[in-house]
Every structure is written in structure tokens, then in C-alpha cells.
Amino acid sequence: MIRVLFIEASSGGVVGGSLTGLYHQIRGLDRSRFAPAIVLYEAKTIESDLRVLEVPVYHVDRRRLPKEHALLGYEGYRKAKKTRAFRAALSAGRQALRLLTEELPAALRLAQIIRTTKTDVVHLGNGVRANFDGILACMLTRTPMLCHVKGFEKYSARERWIAPRIDALVPMTQAVAQHCVASGIRAHRTAVIYDALDEQGYHPKRESAEVRRELGVDGGPCAGVAGNIQEWKGQLVLVEAMAKVRRELPSAQALIIGGVHKAGADYHRRLEHRIAELQLAGGVRVTGFRSDIADVMGALDIVVHTSVRPEPFGRVILEGMLLGKPVIASAAGGVPELIRDGETGFLVPPGNVEALAARLILLMAQPELRHEIGQRARRWALDEFSLERHVRLMSDLYENLVRSH
């Protein structure tokens, strides 16, 4: 039996794609071969689901340096920050302070958990930067580790220094892998493994008509974007597009589904203000956090992905595909690896309101096209991004790491 400790360092008070992906992977593990446990850096709503799976949950309360501080109020400080030498010195000082006050204390607590649980292999779920303390903990305990890289991070010399100590780097897409290479991040081995969803664990439990009534959606075609509300997720792009769509199709509607990330409070207010300003209150609704996300997405006619920055993967895209929905997504980052444009969905330039509106009008006006593309998308997702395939590749990697360590 191989004991796998998952370390998930995300914060912000929400359950994002990173933790959701780990949850589905844990669901699919062969429990006769693997005994999973997980470390979280804050309480998460998904913990009750993990406990149903009999997965031990540990917490590490990692201190985080504030991004706002008193010096920001001084003009001299702001001017000094514009010089390269000062910025470099400031960055070095902040990294040293972060190491001493955040990462080393967290690494020591993680090392204690690794020893107590007699962990055989550690799965770091958030990349080289966010899991720097986890890498240190594995080095202290001489535990084999894989580092799951799920973003296009900016790397410094310290990440380039520590990367060769990582046993396996697992980028979630080819685009992420290429970014790591270009940034000088190289581990002992690298294996691209796409994220997946558990088809059996992701399906609507209620009829779409019931959900639409609850959400105030009438008989018109309805699109929706799902994800935590923060600026880079681009929900405002859908709002602007819907203003154009409703001039062509007055019955068209849209849902913005998701909780407000702690960094997205101002953006959420801007979003609500713009909906009112464009007089879209009857056509665009912000649902807030929904625990029944499969039910809500199952009630949509079209799933929209609106990220304005390159998305490493885009889990919501797969969720829509598995539900047989046509997906319109931002063509950046790893997203083009998930969709065959015009066959299993549509790709549009990030932030391009006109392109998004044109695709929405096309799909909303043609139910047969929606159905055709949605069914192709479902078959594509089941073939290329099945949970069975994902778990098999990860399981083989765990066994290889333990065997070769």
C-alpha cells in the first residue's frame, strides 16, 4: 500500500479548479493500492466530501506576508520602486523574509505530518512557487515528490535552483510544460498529464427545467460562465457580449455562476454596476456560489469560458463538454489543447466582445447546431480526458517514484 500525501496550498476562501481536480483524482484512486491523505492551508467546503471518501484532512496555517504595507503611502518609496536596482533589492529582501516567516515554519509543520503519516510519496498540487515549502519538507524528510504545475508563473532564481531537486514535474498541458522549459524550470523528469473529471461523479441531479425556474431563466436560450469572480476570469466580457446578443435575440439570457474571490470584491461591484448600466438585469444574473454546479451547468444551453489571461487548462470547459454542452472559450494558454475549433467547440480571442457575441448569436439561434457540437464535445472529452486515464498515469508515476527512490 502506497501512502500518498496531497498538499493543496490554495487560499482565498473558495474551492478552485486545483483542489477540485485533486478531489476527482482521489475519487478515482484504487484504494487497494493507495492510501490518500491531504493537507489544506485553510478550511474548505469540500472537506466534508473528502471525509465521506475516508480521506484524512490535515491543516497547516501558513502565515502570509501582507501585500499592502505602510511604505506604500510614501511618495519617496513609490519613486524608488521605479528603479531597477531598488526593485531587485526589494524582491530579494521580500523573498528572504518570506522564506524565514512563511515557508520554513510551514515546511517544518509539513515535514512533521509527512513523518507522522509515514508518507511514501508527496503530490504537491500548486506548482513550484506556491509549494516551495512543500518541496523543502520533502527534502528534509527525503520523501519522493511530484510537483503538479497548473499555471504560467513567473519564476526567480530560487525556483530555478530548487527545481532539479523535484523528482517529477507534472505540467497540466503542453503549454504549461513549454513555459516551464522557457523559464529554466527543469526537474529530474517531466510528464504532461491532462486533468480530468470523474464522469460518474459529475452529472445533474435535477431536471434542467426545475433549475431554470429556480434561477429565473425563462424559455429563451441561456449561456453561462462558471468560476470564481475575479478580474482575470473575465466575466465582464460576457456581460458586454450579452448587450450585443440581446439586440439580435431579445430572449437570450446568461448566468454568471461562482463565489467572489477575496481579490475580486471590487471587480464584483463593477460587474453588478455594468449589468445595471446596460439594463441587462432581466437577461444577465449573478448566481453567487453554487454547490450544485452540475445542476446549474446542466440547465445551460451554452457554456462560456471568458478568461482574459492565458488559462493553463480550464476545468469548466471539460465540465461543459461532459454535460454535452457546446463551449465557447478564450483561445490562449492550454485551452486550444482542449477544443477543436468548429468541431468540439469554438475558440475566440481573449477579451474580444464582438467575437464572443457572434458565436453566441450563432449557437443561440440554432438548437440543432448546439446539440451536434455538444455531442461531439462529450465524446471528445470522454476519449481524451477521462478520469480513468488520468488516474492510471498518476498512479504509475507514484509507483515509479517510490520504486526508484
- For residue range 42-91, list pLDDT tens digits in order: 888 888 989 999 999 999 987 765 655 545 555 655 555 567 665 656 56
The whole-angstrom separation of Cα 273 and Cα 279 is 10
For residue 148, what are the contacts with CB-CB under 8 A and spacing of at least 6? 123, 124, 125, 126, 127, 170, 172
Q: How many CB atoms lie within 10 A of CB 93?
A: 10
**What pLDDT does 262 receive?**
79
Residues 192 and 331 grouped into a single domain: no
In a domain, 31, yes or no: yes
If we measure between CA atoms, which residue out of 198, 178, 194, 195 comes closest to residue 186? Answer: 178
Strand partners, 254: 223, 284
Residues 257 and 307 grouped into a single domain: yes
Return the CATH number at 397: 3.40.50.2000
**What pLDDT does 118 receive?**
96
Residues 44 and 98 grouped into a single domain: yes
The whole-angstrom separation of Cα 84 and Cα 105 is 31
Place of cell 485533486: 22
In a domain, 261, yes or no: yes
Q: Are 59 and 8 in contact (CB under 8 A)?
A: no
In a domain, 78, yes or no: no
C-alpha cell, 20: 477540485
User: What is the β-pairing status of strands 121-124 and 327-330?
Assistant: unpaired
Q: Domain count for the chain, please give it.
A: 2
Which is higher by pLDDT, 62 or 41?
Answer: 41
- For residue range 126-149, list pLDDT tens digits in order: 999 999 999 999 999 999 999 999
Residues 92 and 114 grouped into a single domain: yes
Residues 148 and 251 grouped into a single domain: no
**What pLDDT does 18 receive?**
78
In a domain, 391, yes or no: yes
pTM of the entire structure?
Answer: 0.78
In a domain, 42, yes or no: yes
Residues 292 and 172 grouped into a single domain: no
Residues 271 and 375 grouped into a single domain: yes
In a domain, 124, yes or no: yes
If we measure between CA atoms, which residue out of 361, 362, 366, 348 comes closest to residue 243? Answer: 361
What letter would DSSP give residue 99? Answer: I
For residue 119, what are the contacts with CB-CB under 8 A and spacing of at least 6? 3, 4, 5, 37, 113, 141, 143
For residue 368, what are the contacts with CB-CB under 8 A and spacing of at least 6? none
- For residue range 341-399, list pLDDT tens digits in order: 999 999 999 999 999 999 999 999 999 999 999 999 999 999 888 889 999 999 999 99
Domain that holds residue 290: 203-384
In a domain, 271, yes or no: yes
The whole-angstrom separation of Cα 161 and Cα 184 is 9
Residues 393 and 354 grouped into a single domain: no
The whole-angstrom separation of Cα 172 and Cα 153 is 13
